[in-house]
Structure formats: C-alpha cells, structure tokens
Amino acid sequence: MSKKGYWMAMIDVRDPELYEQYIEANAVAFAKYGAKFAVRAGRHENPEGPTGNRHVLVEFESFDRAVECYHSPEYQYASKFRLAASSGHFVIVEGA
C-alpha cells in the first residue's frame, strides 16, 4: 500500500480576480487526479511570522499521483494563473 501524497502551499495572493481563474482552471486537474482538499484557505494564525494570506493542503492517493497531477497538461495550464496572481511556497510531500 502506497503512502498518500500532499501538496502544501502557503501563498500570498496579489490579484484575487486572476487567482479565481486559477481556482476554476485547477478543478479539471484535481478531478482527473482525485485530489481532496484538507485545507483550502480559511482562518489562520501566524504565530512565528508571515506565511501568506492563503494556505492549502491537497491530498492524493499517492505521492506519485500528486507529482503526476502537478506535471499534467491540465494543471500546468492552471498554474500559469497562480504564478501570475500570487507568490509563495509550494511543495509536494509523501505522507506518513
């Protein structure tokens, strides 16, 4: 049994309207690769310094599936909106 894979992101959204286009476009890739949101924005605290104004944790059935989704044509199309509308930290990790 493989371990789950996760996308973890701490983002500063500069252009909310353009970021909305990213959210609409990424739905195609997330549906295709079985992504599930554990965290999608919501309330947060930054007890140790700035971490961005939007936080996301996306779960996939495996690390390999998470990587495949990121490199898919569907997500690469969507990511152009994210990169133009925001900056931040993004990582793909294998779960425990």
| Domain residue spans of the chain | 9-42+54-94
> What pLDDT sits at residue 96?
85
Residue burial 12-43, b: 16+ Cβ < 10 Å; e: rest? ebeeeeebebbeebbeebbeebebeeeeeeee
Assign a CATH topology to domain 9-42+54-94.
Alpha-Beta Plaits (3.30.70)
Helix axes 63-71, 73-85, angle to 10 degrees: 70
pTM for this predicted structure:
0.91
> What pLDDT sits at residue 89?
96
The tens digit of pLDDT for each residue in 21-44 reads: 999 999 999 999 999 999 999 899
Question: Is pLDDT at 12 greater than 80 in this prediction?
Answer: yes
> What pLDDT sits at residue 82?
97
- Tell me what the mean pLDDT of segment 52-66 comes to: 96
Determine contact, residues 92/7, Cβ cutoff 8 Å: yes
